[in-house]
Amino acid sequence: MASILSRISRQLKYGRPVVVVSGLPRSGTSMAMKMLEAGGMELVVDNIRTADEDNPKGYYEDERVKDLAEMKDKEWLDRTRGKVIKVVSSLLNYLPASNAYKVVFMRRNLHEVLASQKKMLDRRGEDSQTDDQDLLKMYESHLEKVQFQLRFRPYFEALYLDYADVVAEPEREARRIADFVGGGLDAKRMSAAVDGSLYRNRRTADGAVASQG
């Protein structure tokens, strides 16, 4: 009963929630955006960053999000209520408390994340300036802080999804997203939007990451 009253109270205070897809870069956030679009939700995107070899289905981004840390006027986010926007995990802290947020947070094996990021840098002819082990520690610490933030800030509700689980069981995970977001989303169409062929950097049983493409 308390949780129901809490949700009603938040809705009265903030209005419809902003649905936020978040996670580390290369953790499956674009896939989650595509699923929500297929389910019937309106996305907040500007299509400035176009599809490429690393994200052949598109990035589903809005460039304004990148400026959240320095941005003073964030009233535009009020107009995203009831819609979906992608916010990388490092910028969740800068979302204003004037809205309620339902956060679909993508998790992925960190070794896979690093492998995917490395392939992206290689394609661009760039090198990482940080050792992999140092990056792993940084990401682990960062994710702990983000989880704490999502748990204890009253304007956040979070659903955690594992990238590998979504690829392996798209119908089950689509239903979880639809139940969390609400609004009568089409879970079948959401699951059909999952393209397992794009899971190109996978952790194997021996702990290595096999890369394809």
Q: So what's the pLDDT on residue 12?
A: 75
> Residue 80: is its pLDDT beyond 60?
yes
User: Which of the residue ranges 52-56, 85-89, 126-130, 163-167 would you say has the lowest mean pLDDT?
Assistant: 126-130
Q: Per-residue DSSP letters for the chain? A: -HHHHHHHHHHHHH-SPEEEEEESTTSSHHHHHHHHHHHTPPB-----S---SSSTT-----GGGGGTTT-S--GGGGGGTTSEEE--GGGGGGS-TTS-EEEEEEE--HHHHHHHHHHHHHHHT---SS-HHHHHHHHHHHHHHHHHHHHH-TTEEEEEEEHHHHHH-HHHHHHHHHHHH-S---HHHHHHT--GGG--EEE-TTS-EEE--
Higher pLDDT, 129 or 117: 117
- pLDDT tens for each residue of 144-181: 999 999 999 999 999 999 999 999 999 999 999 999 99
pLDDT of residue 132: 86
Total residues belonging to the chain: 213
pLDDT value of residue 183: 76
Residue 209's pLDDT is 56
pLDDT of residue 1: 44
Per the CB < 8 A criterion, the answer to whether 113 and 27 are in contact is yes
Residue 208 has pLDDT above 80, yes or no: no
**Rounded-to-integer distance, Cα 201 and Cα 16, Å:** 37
Tokens of 154: 């009253």
Quote the tokens at residue 71. 């941005």
Residue 205 banded pLDDT, cuts 50, 70, 90: low
How confident is the model at residue 199, as a pLDDT?
Answer: 77
- The mean pLDDT of the chain is 89
How confident is the model over 132-154, as a mean pLDDT?
95
Place of tokens 């840390």: 69
Across-strand partners of 84? 19, 43
Residue 2 has pLDDT above 50, yes or no: no
- Entry pTM: 0.89
Q: Confirm or reject CATH 3.40.50.300 for domain 2-187, answering yes or no.
A: yes
Neighbours of 153 (CB within 10 A): 15
Distance CA 12, CA 167 (A): 36
